[in-house]
Chain A
């Protein structure tokens, strides 16, 4: 099973700040890494597919990068509505696995 480790677990940030969340895989997964946003009491929402591909309807301040074992989700100019927990997910091999989540708090 491929283990995904996110960092940090929690971050408190101010609006307009740039945020970087990392996801490290226990073995190479190519670009089969996806990012989701989950707001309180809501279902997860797809933000980025295949490491860096944007999703229609997702604000352009969200971007992704990386390949192999190291991946990054970047949020430029954070907005109050971005308060959520962010998860990475790998689809390279069974079983699909998720990172433990990164909770963003807006100051």
Chain B
């Protein structure tokens, strides 16, 4: 059974930093690209970042470019999102999602981890 379990979401002050993690199981992690997608409270889905199977290619939404860094450790079956210079508008539930290939559909999603940016 495929499982994606996010962690690391907390309340952080504006300008602060945070690292989210996503632990994957039930599939060959290093065969697939992975994404972060976020959802602000009461709002729709917003794509955040994509990383290729080997970590060699990364892409970001303009809203987070230069502030967020996606990475992965295939030896630990884990995906990460380093979030710096956090803003109030980054407040959201952050999901990790498994891609069926590179830039395909998302066949599995985690349950999300909540990041709140507030003073």
B10 to chain A, nearest CB (A): 20
On whether A44 and B107 interact (CB within 8 A), knowing A94-B50, A96-B35, A96-B50, the answer reads no
Band of interface residues on B: 20 to 34
Report the minimum CB–CB distance from B68 to chain A (whole Å): 13
What B residues does A93 contact at CB under 8 A?
A: 103
With beta carbons under 8 angstroms apart, the residue of B44, B46, B59, B110 that contacts A94 is B59
Rounded to whole angstroms, the CA-CA distance of A35 and B95 in the bound complex is 17
Determine, out of A15-23, A65-73, A97-105, the stretch whose residues face the partner at the interface. A97-105
Residue on A with the closest CB to B103? A91
**B117 CB, min distance to chain A CBs, angstroms:** 21
Asked if B118 CB lies within 8 Å of chain A CBs, one says no
**How many residue pairs bridge A and B at CB < 8 Å?**
51
Is A44 a contact of B45 with CB atoms below 8 Å?
A: yes
CB distance from B20 to the nearest CB of A (A): 15
Per the bound structure, the CA–CA distance linking A27 and B107 in Å amounts to 24
Inside 8 A of A60's CB, which chain B residues have their CB? none
Given A43-B112, A46-B105, A49-B100, 19 new contacts (CB under 8 A): A34-B105, A36-B45, A43-B95, A43-B110, A43-B111, A44-B106, A45-B109, A85-B44, A89-B45, A94-B50, A94-B59, A94-B103, A95-B47, A95-B59, A95-B61, A95-B62, A96-B35, A98-B45, A98-B46
Measured CB to CB, the residues of B under 8 A from A are 35, 44-47, 50, 59, 61-62, 95, 100, 103-107, 109-112
Q: Lowest 9 CB-CB distances: which A-B pairs, in order?
A: A43-B109, A34-B105, A98-B45, A101-B44, A96-B47, A49-B105, A100-B44, A91-B103, A91-B104
Q: What are 16 residue pairs bridging A and B, where the CB atoms are less than 8 Å apart in the complex?
A: A34-B106, A43-B95, A43-B112, A44-B45, A44-B95, A44-B106, A44-B109, A46-B107, A49-B100, A50-B105, A87-B45, A91-B103, A93-B103, A94-B59, A96-B35, A98-B46
